Amino acid sequence: MWHYAFKRLLSAIPTMFVIVTLAFFMMRLAPGGPFDKERALPPEIEQNILAAYDLDKPLWYQYLKYLGGLLQGDFGPSYRIRDFSVSELIAQGFPASLQLGATAMIIAVAVGVSLGTVAALRQNSKVDYAVMTVAMTGIALPNFVIAPLLTLVFGVYLSWLPVAGWGEGAIANKILPVIALALPQVAYIARMTRGSMVEVLNANYIRTARAKGLSERLVVVRHAIKGALLPVVSYLGPATAAIITGSVVVETIFSIPGIGRYFVLGALNRDYTLVLGVMVFYAVLIILLNLAVDLIYGLLDPKVRQH
Partner 1 sequence: MDAVLTVENLNIRFTTPDGEVSAVNEVAFHIGPGESLGVVGESGSGKTQVFLSIMGLLARNGRVSGSARYHGRELIGMPRAELNELRGARIAMIFQDPMTSLNPFLKISKQMTEVLITHKGLSEKAARVRGIQMLERVGIPAAKSRFDLYPHEFSGGMRQRVMIAMALLCEPELLIADEPTTALDVTIQAQILELMAELKRDFNTAIVMITHDLGVVAGLCERVMVMYGGRVVETGGVSQIFYEPRHPYTLGLLRSMPRVDRSRGQALYAIPGQPPNLQALPSGCAFRDRCAFAFERCARERPPLTPAGAGRLKACFKDELTKEALA
Partner 2 sequence: MSTVTRDALAGMAEVKGRSLWQDAWRRLLHNKAAVVSMVILAVMALLALFAPWLSPHPYDEVYWERIAIGPDFANAHWFGTDGNGRDLFVRTLYGARVSLMVGVLATGVSLIIGVAWGACAGFFGGRIDNVMMRIVDILYSLPFMFFVILLMVIFGRNIFLIFIALGAVEWLTMARIVRGQTLSIKRREFIEAAHACGVSTAGIIVGHIVPNVLGPVIVYVTLTIPQVIITESFISFLGLGVQEPLTSWGVLISEGARQMETAPWMLIFPASFLAITLFAFNFIGDGLRDALDPKER
Per CB under 8 A, the segment of 90-98, 174-182, 224-232, 240-248 that binds partner 2 is 240-248
The dihedral through the CA atoms of 7, 11, 14, 20 has a sign that is: negative
Q: Which residues pair with 85 in a beta bridge?
A: 77
**What is the rounded distance in angstroms from the CA atom of residue 8 to the CA atom of residue 292?**
10
Q: Minimum distance from CB of 55 to partner 2 (Å)?
A: 18
Q: By CB under 8 A, tell whether 55 contacts partner 1.
A: no
**What is the rounded distance in angstroms from the CA atom of residue 1 to the CA atom of residue 238?**
23
Site for partner 1 in 285-304 (CB under 8 A): 300-303
Pick from 31, 42, 58, 302: which binds partner 2 (CB under 8 A)?
A: 31
Pick from 180, 224, 244, 259: which binds partner 2 (CB under 8 A)?
A: 244
The residue (of 227 and 231) whose beta carbon lies closer to partner 1 is 227
**What is the rounded distance in angstroms from the CA atom of residue 27 to the CA atom of residue 266?**
14
- Partner interacting with residue 249 (select from partner 2, partner 1, none; CB below 5-8 Å by kind): partner 2
Q: By CB under 8 A, tell whether 215 contacts partner 1.
A: yes
Q: Minimum distance from CB of 63 to partner 2 (Å)?
A: 19
Pick from 141, 203, 289, 295: which binds partner 1 (CB under 8 A)?
A: 203
The residue (of 160 and 205) whose beta carbon lies closer to partner 1 is 205
The residue (of 46 and 301) whose beta carbon lies closer to partner 1 is 301
- Partner interacting with residue 139 (select from partner 1, partner 2, none; CB below 5-8 Å by kind): partner 2
- Partner interacting with residue 218 (select from partner 2, partner 1, none; CB below 5-8 Å by kind): partner 1
Site for partner 1 in 115-174 (CB under 8 A): 123
In degrees and rounded to multiples of 5, residue 277 shows phi and psi of -60, -45
Q: Count interface residues toward partner 2 (CB under 8 A).
A: 47
Per CB under 8 A, the segment of 53-61, 81-89, 105-113, 277-285 that binds partner 2 is 277-285
Q: By CB under 8 A, tell whether 156 contacts partner 2.
A: yes
Q: By CB under 8 A, tell whether 298 contacts partner 2.
A: no
Pick from 267, 292, 295, 304: which binds partner 2 (CB under 8 A)?
A: 267
Per CB under 8 A, the segment of 52-60, 65-73, 135-143, 221-229 that binds partner 2 is 135-143
**What is the rounded distance in angstroms from the CA atom of residue 121 to the CA atom of residue 213?**
18
Q: By CB under 8 A, tell whether 276 contacts partner 2.
A: yes
The residue (of 8 and 210) whose beta carbon lies closer to partner 1 is 210
Q: What is the 3-state secondary structure (H, E, C) of the chain?
A: CHHHHHHHHHHHHHHHHHHHHHHHHHHHHCCCCCCCCCCCCCHHHHHHHHHHHCCCCCHHHHHHHHHHHHHCCCCCECCCCCCCEHHHHHHHHHHHHHHHHHHHHHHHHHHHHHHHHHHHHCCCCHHHHHHHHHHHHHHHCCHHHHHHHHHHHHHHHCCCCCCCCCHHHCHHHHHHHHHHHHHHHHHHHHHHHHHHHHHHHCCHHHHHHHHCCCCHHHHHHHHHHHHHHHHHHHHHHHHHHHHHHHHHHHHHHCCCCCHHHHHHHHHHCCCHHHHHHHHHHHHHHHHHHHHHHHHHHHHHCHHHHHC
Residues within the interface to partner 1 (CB under 8 A)? 123, 203-205, 207-216, 218, 222-223, 226-227, 300-303, 306
